[in-house]
């Protein structure tokens, strides 16, 4: 897709900064006219420092170039690539819409077993309980004794 690079000022807390963002995901220091080199955060999103504050490039592009009439809080990458921050690949979404998109496109691990935030026990602990139950230990008193009171 060929498009002309358009630049807009970056604002932080409604105050203009000395930085600009382009619709093609470039961030420039307006004093030096240099493009900043982005770095990935642990989750794979690209960031730059604007006034010494880490800012995600996808949010900067969306704020500057994507209308958000419904005031949706999250920015989605349509193609699922967290590093493709061109304006045409971004859209505003609710958290539920964003999670549905991630699930449909298999962009996240299913939250099952010990991956689930509500899980109290590790997968290993559950497998050990199943093994003990299959071996014939089925009393509420014997099971915790065999496990050394691991399960609480």
Q: Are strands 39-40 and 46-50 parallel, antiparallel or unpaired?
A: antiparallel
Query: What is the pLDDT, as a whole number, of residue 26?
Result: 97
Alpha carbons 38 and 47: distance in angstroms, whole number: 5
Q: What pLDDT is recorded for position 147?
A: 64
The model's pTM is 0.71
Which class is 7-104 in CATH?
alpha beta
Domain locations in the chain as residue ranges: 7-104, 113-147
Nearest to 28 by CA among 39, 17, 41, 40: 17
pLDDT band at 3 (very low <50, low <70, confident <90, very high): confident
Give pLDDT tens digits for 25-50: 999 999 999 999 999 999 999 999 99
User: In this predicted model, what pLDDT tens digit does every residue of 121-137 receive, in sequence order?
Assistant: 777 887 888 888 888 87
In this predicted structure, what is the pLDDT of residue 106? 83
SS3 assignment for 87-138: HHHEEEECHHHHHHHHHHCCCCCCCCHHHCCCCCCCHHHHHHHHHHHHCCCC
DSSP 80: S
């Amino acid at each position: 897709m060929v498009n002309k690079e358009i630049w807009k000022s970056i604002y932080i807390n409604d105050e203009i900064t000395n930085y600009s963002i382009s619709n093609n995901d470039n961030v420039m220091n307006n004093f030096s006219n240099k493009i900043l080199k982005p770095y990935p955060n642990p989750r794979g999103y690209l960031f730059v420092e604007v006034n010494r504050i880490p800012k995600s490039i996808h949010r900067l592009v969306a704020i500057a170039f994507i209308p958000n009439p419904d005031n949706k809080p999250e920015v989605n990458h349509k193609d699922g690539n967290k590093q493709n921050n061109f304006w045409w690949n971004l859209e505003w979404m609710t958290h539920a819409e964003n999670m549905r998109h991630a699930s449909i496109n298999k962009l996240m691990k299913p939250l099952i077993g010990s991956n689930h935030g509500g899980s109290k026990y590790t997968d290993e602990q559950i497998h050990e309980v199943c093994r003990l139950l299959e071996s014939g230990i089925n009393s509420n008193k014997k099971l915790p004794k065999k496990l050394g009171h691991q399960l609480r």
